[in-house]
Structure 1
Amino acid sequence: MNVADIVIETAARLPDKAALIFQDKPITYGELERSIEQAAAGIASLGIRKGDRVGVLVHNIPHFVYAYLGIERAGGVMVPLNTMYTADEVSFILADAEARAVVVAEPFLRAVDGLRETLPMLEHVVVVGGGSPIGTMGWDQMIGRGEAPPSVTIGEDDLACLSYTSGTTGKPKGAMLTHGNLMANLEQMHRVPLLSEAETDVVLLVLPMFHIYALNVSLGLTFRVGATAVLQERFDPVASLDAIERHGITVIFGAPPMFVAWLSTPNVEKRDLSKVRLAVSGAAPLPGPVLEDFERRLGITIWEGYGLTETSPGVTSNAMGAEAKPGSIGKPLPDVELRLLDEQGDDVEDGDPGEIAVRGPNVFRGYWHDDAATAEAVRDGWFRTGDVAYEDEDGYLFLVDRKKDLIIVSGFNVYPREVEEALYRNPKVAEAAVVGVPHPYTGEAVKAVVVLKPGTSATEEEIVEFCKRSIARFKCPQVVEFVDQLPHTDTGKILRRRLRDVERPAEETA
């Protein structure tokens, strides 16, 4: 089944139901289907055939949806591009994917300027909005060329999306996600009663759709059941709260920075959030104190989940259990097999931390043009995630950290997540991140980068002493840096590599 068939089937059942609301204007499922069919015909008129890659550099506007599902309907493979990427990053991905065309929104034209001259495979640049410079084609011009969508047979093993990893370390790799992968994960989530949407739901869609979380969870689940998504171009805490009240939002798919920002919004307790029945956090770890504060102040439980680009994305959810345990990523979704492995690839003892390994129909086919990386990541049919977790006595999983983020202090393992949880217990701390920095005596030292809540102040010594109350001395920060904000990806992951620059040697505070 083609993922585009989701809209086609829903449109046949609910043609006059709003699929999207953008800038307070509804777009019905019938209208959405017609726009997708027009896009598919236009894309096919460019010579795009089954399996050809097409880049999409478009922000959260309806044309992203038209382009995405139009490409799928035509049999192509979408390559979503982060709108924060530089021209060099866009060029790298389009070249690596051997994209034959790219759809770009007018604000991001600079990122593709001149690429047709440097990328031989790139034949077409289609511009959404504004004018179309020489060598490009306007969106309306493209769909005007098409007559009828092509008849293309798509199987579950055919590629749907080439989704590049965020590249927080090293060059991005293209995760090959099939139509079967995406559809399987939709069904896995739909089978969890708490996560399953209904026709009557109104979903806040503010996470960037170039990310698999928004693409297949926020958007895919909504279209599967015939619900309505309120689409916002970018996250703004006040504007999103306005939308929740105005449109009666019932479902929120968010990331930790969103929930932190809402808690910091003046008079947030006076907002009418009474219709929100489900709030889900993903893309990055949600600090336990944030979950507890959100429930205490706003009466809304946040159900944390865990997933990766390579798993389409869902792997686990607290919604699989009877409660939302603070700090837990929950239990595996239906049809997801999960193991915790030691360094030798054997299952760890009960309660011990181990690397998460996953197997299931939602797991990707491998990395595009990178057999070595695929062989390293997928061993004996199990995808090694690089994330470390442990399981409690109730079967709930707790993410400890990324293996590569482990800090070793005098031979002792320090997981940044544990230190960050200690920092978040400080009532003055709004946000915190922990990294390892070189140290001449201990090998590495713990560095904390802290954002304080408005109207508060704290010293480095105060922060360190607070941590000593709950964690061992060797785990406590030796360097504390105060900043106005932390660097994040668009989906909330902390860019740790930017935090490792030390302005003074760690030994000064040893």
Structure 2
Amino acid sequence: MDKQRPWVAQYSAGHPATITVEQPDALSLFRAAVAKAADKPALHYFDATLSYTEVDAQSDALACALLARGVQRGDRIALVLQNVPQFVIALVAIWKAGAIAVSINPMNRERELALLFADCEPAALIAHETAYREVIAKVLAERPIGIVITTSELEYQRRNDPRLFGSIGRIACEGTLAFAELIATHRGETPPLIHYEPSDTAMLVYTSGTTGLPKGAMNSHGNVAFTAQVYRDWIELREGDGILGIAPLFHITGLIGHIATSFSIAGALTLAYRFEAGVMLDAFRERQPAFTIGAITALMALMNHPDAKADSLASLRSIYSGGAPIAPALVAQFEAKFGLYIRNAYGMTESTSPATVSPLDKLAPVDPLFGALSVGVPTFNTDIRIVDAETAQPLPHGEAGEIIIKGPQVVSGYWRKPEATLDAIRDGWLHTGDIGVIDKDGWLFLVDRKKDMINAAGYKVWPREVEDVLYTHPAVREAAVVGVPDAYRGETVKAVLSLKAGTTVTLEEIIAHCRERMAAYKVPRVVAFLPELPKTVTGKILRRELRD
């Protein structure tokens, strides 16, 4: 066992190699928190606090509203929301109604939303008024959804911080149901008790995975319950600890590392609509959280904010980053500023967040070849192998190959995509497409991202999707998109174009064209023009040459 799992020796004192999961499903996780902490805070949102009893009552009411309008077990309910209390209330309500939550990035544009709605076929949609008016209504004109519920980021708080809400007002959305009114109408009602098996799907979380088209990872109730307990036990969180929601809730890190983990400790989750460094620093001081996890770019923004003081994050006992390797210099700068050492974690949507986590009582070693810190060691109940990317044969410690993962956090597959599922998950092993190395002591180092995937500030961008949008511009003849190093975002998106004869176009026009058709983080920040793009003898564009 020691030879197969050398990483167990790195575990913090008292941590076992395997844990027994205490709750069978995500809804039981929430119900257990209500039983432990009924009148204690569940959510903070600026100047507002909701107790676990209140979240329970409001989610009961919303579940009854959904059931009264025909939602049935297994229906998909789409959430297009930022970090607001409505997201958490709706998530619990969806589970109480027997449905499956579909978390969707609220930055998505019409084309992206149309693809997701066509795939998951939601019976209902819950969204911000602003998103509905500006984007969603146009999609629903072509593909209607039976139940549309709108709400505002201004609800549940009265502070109206101008850094976030300066230009935002209430918007009338004709033909939709108001979130607050539904809860008021059904308040006091209780939905029928529902039972879940650990294998039942709790959420669809969309990822580009290893192909360019979006795929819904079927994160099960068992996946959610396990990974929430991993965070709790590995990071040694205590009952009632506070968590600050830096990561977006629609992302697997926010769903597990914020929401599910706060349920697992019956703690208070602080939300602040979306990330703004000054607002987050205020939230640290006001709510005194014990833990957070976020993209390294967000943590650097906190460090570099003019209001940041040495004691700004003094309440934290631990802070983690996920999504990309971290340069040791950044960790050193952060520690010098705040006295806190950033630990790393690695996982995917398909592994329901963490697969490897840095132990609490150790400093991560540095990869001698690439200079980045290790992303940790495999966590409880988890096996990781490095295999030859072509043959899938195991490779020895210290040799680079594809990272594959096996454990209770790995999803059963992709929604309605059996071929993609068979390609990614074989004999229970998730083939990540990421290249890594495990050293003799069990530490994992990321060598490279998936073959062409761009990781921009923690967001995954698939070049093919951006290229497809670029090709819709009338002047573009050839397009290739690659990731290039960026001091702040880790990687940024670069487009290399050749134009049709007799046409001209500016960098600003290309960026504007893309911004209208996709989320901001996918839009190229750098655009270059070449007479001809490099290609193989068969005519395939060589992204590798452009990247080099």
Deviation of residue 166 (structure 1)?
5.2
Q: Which residue of 2 is the match for residue 183 of structure 1?
A: 225
Deviation of residue 173 (structure 1)?
0.7
Deviations 1:147-168 (A, max 9, x none): 4313322211111101101579
1:502 partnered with 2:536: no
- % identical aligned pairs: 30
The alpha-carbon distance between structure 1 residues 33 and 354, as it changes in their structure 2 partners (threshold 3 A), is same
Deviations 1:440-466 (A, max 9, x none): xxxx9x98544589xxxxxxxxxxxxx
Deviation of residue 185 (structure 1)?
1.4
Q: Which residue of 1 is the match for residue 387 of structure 2?
A: 341
1:220 partnered with 2:267: no
In structure 2, distance between residues paired with 1:268 and 1:237:
9
Q: Which residue of 2 is the match for residue 425 of structure 1?
A: none
Q: Which residue of 2 is the match for residue 140 of structure 1?
A: 180
Q: Secondary structure at the match of 1:403?
A: coil
The alpha-carbon distance between structure 1 residues 25 and 307, as it changes in their structure 2 partners (threshold 3 A), is same
The alpha-carbon distance between structure 1 residues 143 and 247, as it changes in their structure 2 partners (threshold 3 A), is closer
1:252 partnered with 2:305: no
1:149 partnered with 2:183: no
Deviation of residue 206 (structure 1)?
2.5
How large is the RMSD of aligned CA atoms in angstroms?
A: 3.2
Q: Which residue of 1 is the match for residue 213 of structure 2?
A: 171
Deviation of residue 64 (structure 1)?
0.7
Q: Which residue of 2 is the match for residue 206 of structure 1?
A: 246
Q: Which residue of 1 is the match for residue 468 of structure 2?
A: none
**Aligned residues of 1:42 and 1:144 also touching (Cα < 8 A):** no
The alpha-carbon distance between structure 1 residues 324 and 200, as it changes in their structure 2 partners (threshold 3 A), is farther
The alpha-carbon distance between structure 1 residues 448 and 212, as it changes in their structure 2 partners (threshold 3 A), is closer
Deviation of residue 280 (structure 1)?
0.7
Amino acid at match of 1:154: Y
Instruction: Summarize the alignment of residues 435-450 of structure 1 with structure 2, pairs less than 5 Å apart.
Output: 448-450=484-486
1:405 partnered with 2:452: yes
Q: Which residue of 1 is the match for residue 52 of structure 2?
A: 29
Q: Secondary structure at the match of 2:451?
A: helix
Q: Which residue of 1 is the match for residue 7 of structure 2?
A: none
- Between 1:321-330 and 1:395-404, the stretch displaced more is 321-330
Q: What runs of 5+ residues in structure 2 fail to find an aligned partner?
A: 1-23, 153-169, 367-372, 464-479, 490-518, 535-544
Q: Which residue of 2 is the match for residue 319 of structure 1?
A: 359
Determine which of 81, 88, 97 is the counterpart of 1:58: 81
**Aligned residues of 1:353 and 1:390 also touching (Cα < 8 A):** yes
In structure 2, distance between residues paired with 1:158 and 1:7:
16
1:240 partnered with 2:280: yes
Q: Which residue of 1 is the match for residue 495 of structure 2?
A: none
Determine which of 304, 312, 318 is the counterpart of 1:272: 312
The alpha-carbon distance between structure 1 residues 87 and 191, as it changes in their structure 2 partners (threshold 3 A), is same
Q: Secondary structure at the match of 2:122?
A: coil
Deviation of residue 392 (structure 1)?
2.1
The alpha-carbon distance between structure 1 residues 196 and 50, as it changes in their structure 2 partners (threshold 3 A), is farther
The alpha-carbon distance between structure 1 residues 393 and 54, as it changes in their structure 2 partners (threshold 3 A), is same
Q: Which residue of 1 is the match for residue 333 of structure 2?
A: 293
Q: Secondary structure at the match of 1:398?
A: strand
Determine which of 119, 125, 129 is the counterpart of 2:148: 125
**Aligned residues of 1:44 and 1:150 also touching (Cα < 8 A):** no
1:10 partnered with 2:10: no
**Aligned residues of 2:242 and 2:289 also touching (Cα < 8 A):** yes
Deviation of residue 248 (structure 1)?
1.9
Amino acid at match of 2:407: G
Q: Secondary structure at the match of 1:113?
A: helix
Deviations 1:221-268 (A, max 9, x none): 112111212111111112211221222222121111112212322363
The alpha-carbon distance between structure 1 residues 172 and 153, as it changes in their structure 2 partners (threshold 3 A), is same
1:328 partnered with 2:354: no
In structure 1, distance between residues paired with 2:96 and 2:279:
33
Q: Which residue of 1 is the match for residue 408 of structure 2?
A: 361
Instruction: Summarize the alignment of residues 42-121 of structure 1 with structure 2, pairs less than 5 Å apart.
Output: 42-109=65-132, 110-119=134-143
Determine which of 281, 289, 292 is the counterpart of 2:321: 281
Amino acid at match of 1:328: S
Q: Secondary structure at the match of 1:263?
A: helix
**Aligned residues of 2:232 and 2:265 also touching (Cα < 8 A):** no
The alpha-carbon distance between structure 1 residues 9 and 362, as it changes in their structure 2 partners (threshold 3 A), is same
1:370 partnered with 2:370: no
In structure 2, distance between residues paired with 1:116 and 1:268:
43
**Aligned residues of 1:131 and 1:138 also touching (Cα < 8 A):** no
Deviations 1:339-397 (A, max 9, x none): 10012111112201111101111111111111111111112321100111112232211
Higher RCO by CA contacts (8 Å cutoff, separation 6 or greater): 2
TM-score (norm 1): 0.78
**Aligned residues of 1:340 and 1:348 also touching (Cα < 8 A):** yes
**Aligned residues of 2:40 and 2:52 also touching (Cα < 8 A):** yes
In structure 2, distance between residues paired with 1:178 and 1:498:
34
Deviation of residue 497 (structure 1)?
8.2
In structure 2, distance between residues paired with 1:364 and 1:316:
16
TM-score (norm 2): 0.73
Q: What runs of 5+ residues in structure 1 fail to find an aligned partner?
A: 407-415, 421-432, 436-443, 454-492
Q: Which residue of 1 is the match for residue 540 of structure 2?
A: none
1:307 partnered with 2:347: yes
**Aligned residues of 1:77 and 1:162 also touching (Cα < 8 A):** yes
Deviation of residue 208 (structure 1)?
1.0
Amino acid at match of 1:118: E
**Aligned residues of 1:19 and 1:228 also touching (Cα < 8 A):** yes
Q: Which residue of 2 is the match for residue 385 of structure 1?
A: 432
In structure 1, distance between residues paired with 2:201 and 2:135:
26
